[in-house]
Structure 1
Amino acid sequence: MLDIAAELRRWCEEGRDFAVATVVAVGGSAPRQPGAALAVDAAGTAVGSVSGGCVEGAVYDLCRDALRTGQAVRESFGYSDEDAFSVGLTCGGTIEILVTPVPAADTRLRPVLAAALSAATLSAAGGCPVALVRVADGPPELLGRALLVRPDGSYEGSLDRTALDRTALDRTAAGEARALLEAGRTATVGAGAAGGRCGEPVTLLVESAVAPPRMIVFGAVDFAGALARIGKFLGYHVTVCDARPVFATARRFPEADEVVVDWPHRYLDATEVDARTVLCVLTHDAKFDVPLLERALRLPVGYVGAMGSRRTHEDRLRRLRDAGLGELELARLRSPIGLDLGARTPEETALSIASEIVAARRGGGGLPLTGAHTPIHHDLSAPVDMGRIDSVA
């Protein structure tokens, strides 16, 4: 539900009663991943989506029912031969939905969700990351219970039967959430029996709200302007860096979040990157890109690509080997940058680069889907705690 945090935060501030439906598990070719949400208020206003249209009507009705009954429910939707276009997922996948009522008078769940929504909105703007943990499956009386977890492991709320005790379930949930928050990931996690006692197993949905991933574009060229635009469209925080002040100006790159005048390798040494960061080197000038790539290929970033002809690429590899880089490090370099789309214009080239970034992130092959027999949606999940993670988005 943190994907619609800004709207739900406003609903909380306005005192609206609402119910929120959240995807907690998927199978096959499901259109949305865990964490995707649809919310409906008492007047029937809806925001968000859980299926891209396949089951929105049925989930909308479930939200209205939850507002009327005050009960959280978990519902499964899959392909239906008899009624595929009404309720079933015509794409052939399955999704599990958790529907939770959040009335304004709720003094237990509402304050925790309101705090999580406020924190998530700030996180999206670069504030402190937070995780929201909810019981996605288990004893009916626990469904939808929420815990707000911060990076230091502190938390608000309780998932167990009492809001006062710091239970074993809360401590387990906070630990799992902290690990996922460090990775910036959303996942479902098995937590054993409720409260650590003998009884029905509990499944938790952990949603991480973190700052947008970074795209750093080196080289203030025309291609950089187009790439900055598409980077923003994909949700990246975009930085353009170039050592030449006459070219690196905010006026030339209005879509970028920041424009930095500095030598690329020096800026990379001084800035923060992580596993979600993508580095796009468009300078195709040895004096800029060799010292930059020497550092970039040794950093734990998600993508490193460099522009240039195949001849430039071979010369660049020779220079990087001379600088001491090994073959495993060089194998991380995407060069010439982008997928083969036959691109010519800056906009087409930016699309080619962005396509390769998405393919690398999601495990796609960059090939046409027409006639292929491979999955449309790829699962690149890597368990944070082996044997504990059920699904990851």
Structure 2
Amino acid sequence: MREILPALRRWYESGTPFGLATVVAVTRSAPRGPGAAMAVNPEDEVVGSVSGGCVEGAVFELAKEVVETGQAQLERFGYSDEDAFAVGLTCGGEITLLVRPVSQATDPAFAEVAEAVADQRPVAMATVLDGPAPRGATLAVWPERVSGTLGSGGLDAAVAADARGELAQGATGQRHYGPHGERREDDVAVFLQSFAPPPRMLVFGAIDFAAAVARIGAFLGYRVTVCDARPVFATPKRFPEGVEVVVDWPHRYLRNTQTDGRTVICVLTHDPKFDVPLLEVALRSPAAYVGAMGSRRTHEDRLKALRETGLEDAELARLRSPIGLDLGARTPEEVAVSIAAEMVALRWGGSGTALTETAGAIHPPHLKPV
């Protein structure tokens, strides 16, 4: 929907209602993924696409209808193999669309959401698809607040917590709940759409451990880059598909790379000539997590060298070293799990303690990204 927001903002601000169709699920092949959108206003102006042309005619009529009736509709469209081939696919598929009316009266938070997206500030939109909650009801979720309601305080709280988790990963998809947010029930289907790029994971040191960390980082939704100054090790064939591999001096690459409060940095080089200048840059960045591999003795030596660069105690306290949680990990894959566990615990304020040794809610409502 990001690409059609300028037009939607103009319509919304002028008081023009419109029908908004959003892809909320796909099966087999489909030309557009979840989150793709098309909108129609009362003057029959159309922006966006949900299928590359196969079902746009039917969606056009649906969008006009929901504006007239004020009632959102959930529709599924199947592609025949012939139709799929016409839009460049190799086989047929099915898309599910939520088509809902949008206006200043029905969506008072829409302007704020659109502004946040335009400014590249993270925001998620939760929309009810099916169940006892009102279809088409929306809840806008920012990292620090919410706007709107899905019809139940309990449902709002559960969805907001999950939306922040999806937003932290830049993920979009469906979740299911009970009428009051019960997590083990599936009466209410909710579409969570994140407007944020995936967070970055920067892995320094093209070693076997780096391949495992890159793999689990990609699994968690990070956009992963592996950097090493040694071209013989920094080769794409040694890393999972989709992982960016860069040959450069680590500190120089990081200095010229944009980081933010969702970025995680894993320093696995285990070599002072790389580690110290790299960590000097990393610990002065806004990155959410900076971890470095090595023994406790190596850590103490690093701290001494980093103090000599002028880093203060508050900056040094950000360094997670030795990297990872104490899981007794030995293999590269096990170490990658311990590193990922530490990142998740730090993001959500978790203790890293076994749940059998804790009491109370497993997902406390006060936990939020830190």
Letter in 2 for 1:101: Q
2:362 corresponding residue in structure 1: 376
Match of 1:279 among 243, 246, 265: 265
2:122 to 170, 180, 183: 183
- The question of 1:305 aligning with 2:291 is answered yes
Are the equivalent residues in 1 in contact too, given 2:24–2:34 (CA < 8 A)? no
What does 1:1-393 correspond to in 2, within 5 Å? Answer: 4=25, 6-7=33-34, 9=36, 12-13=50-51, 14-15=54-55, 72=71, 100-102=72-74, 145-146=101-102, 158-160=103-105, 171-172=111-112, 174-175=114-115, 181-183=120-122, 187-188=140-141, 189-190=146-147, 207-379=193-365
Distance across 1 between alignment mates of 2:340 and 2:234? 21
From the superposition, tell whether residues 281 and 184 of structure 1 become closer, same or farther in structure 2 (CA, over 3 Å).
Answer: farther
The amino acid across from 2:33 in the alignment is A
1: CA distance, partners of 2:367 / 2:57? 35
Give identity over the alignment, percent. 53
Q: Structure 1 residues 308-317 or 253-262, which shifts more?
A: 253-262
Shift of 1:210: 2.3
Q: Secondary structure at the match of 2:212?
A: helix
SS of 2:287 mapped into structure 1: coil
Q: Which runs of 5+ in 2 are unaligned?
A: 1-21, 26-31, 38-48, 60-65, 77-97, 126-139, 149-159, 164-191
**How far apart, in 2, do the equivalents of 1:354 and 1:339 lie?**
9
Aligned partner of residue 355 in structure 2, secondary structure:
coil
TM-score by length of 1: 0.54
- Counterpart code for 1:182: R
Deviations 1:342-373 (A, max 9, x none): 00010100110011111111221111111411
Q: CA deviation at 1:6?
A: 1.1
Instruction: For 2:108 and 2:288, locate their aligned partners in 1 and report how far apart those are by CA, in whole Å.
Output: 35
What amino acid maps onto 1:322 in structure 2? Answer: E
- Distance (whole Å) between structure 1 residues aligned to residue 249 and residue 23 of structure 2: 38
| Equivalent residues of 1:228, 1:256 under 8 A apart | no
Distance 1:183 1:217 in 2: 24
Q: Say if 1:232 and 1:255, in contact at 8 Å, map to a contact too.
A: no
Secondary structure of the residue that 1:312 maps to in structure 2? helix
Tell whether the 8 Å contact from 2:203 to 2:210 is kept in structure 1 after alignment.
yes
C-alpha deviation, 1:145, in angstroms: 4.0
Aligned length: 244
Say if 1:354 and 1:267 are closer, same or farther in 2 by CA, change over 3 A: same
Hey, what does 2:172 align to over in structure 1? none
User: How has the CA–CA distance of structure 1 residues 232 and 319 changed in structure 2, closer, same or farther, with 3 Å as cutoff?
Assistant: same
Structure 1 range deviating more: 369-378 or 4-13: 4-13
| C-alpha spacing 1:315/1:236, structure 2 compared with 1 (3 Å) | same
Contact 2:121 2:196 in 1 (8 A): no
Question: Hey, what's the Cα distance between the residues in 1 that align with 2:110 and 2:231?
Answer: 53
Distance 1:18 1:367 in 2: 53
Corresponding residue of 2:88: none
1:14-57, CA deviations, whole angstroms, 9 ceiling, x for partnerless residues? Answer: 439999xxxxxxxxxxxxxxxxxxxxxxxxxxxxxxxxxxxxxx
Answer 1 or 2: higher relative contact order, Cα 8 Å, separation at least 6. Answer: 1
Aligned partners of 2:57, 2:350: CA distance in 1, in Å?
A: 41
Shift of 1:101: 1.4
The code of the aligned residue for 1:273 comes to T
Asked if structure 1 preserves the Cα contact closer than 8 Å seen for 2:205 and 2:228, the reply is yes
Gapped regions of structure 1 (runs ≥ 5): 20-66, 73-99, 105-133, 135-142, 147-157, 162-166, 192-203, 383-391
Specify the alignment match of 1:37 in structure 2: none
Q: Which residue of 1 aligns with 2:92?
A: none
Deviation at 1:207, TM superposition (A): 4.6
CA distance in 2, matches of 1:335, 1:262: 23
Residues 283 and 289 of structure 1 are in contact (CA less than 8 Å); yes or no, is this contact kept in structure 2? yes
- CA deviations on 1:181-214 (whole Å, 9 max, x unpaired) are 41355644447xxxxxxxxxxxx99953222111
Q: Match of 2:41?
A: none
The answer on whether the counterparts of 2:201 and 2:217 sit within 8 Å (CA) in structure 1 is yes
Query: What is the CA deviation profile of residues 106-155 of structure 1, one whole-angstrom value per residue up to 9, with x for unaligned ones?
Result: xxxxxxxxxxxxxxxxxxxxxxxxxxxx9xxxxxxxx9544xxxxxxxxx
Q: Distance in 2 between matches of 1:376 and 1:317?
A: 36
CA distance in 1, matches of 2:221, 2:108: 37
For the residues of structure 2 that align with 1:253 and 1:294, how far apart are their CA atoms? 26
TM score, norm. by length of structure 2: 0.57
Q: Which runs of 4+ in 1 moved over 3 A?
A: 1-5, 7-12, 16-19, 143-146, 158-161, 167-179, 183-191, 204-208, 378-382
Deviation at 1:275, TM superposition (A): 1.2
Cα distance in 2 between the residues matched to 1:183 and 1:9: 18
Q: What is the alpha-carbon root mean square deviation over aligned residues?
A: 3.9
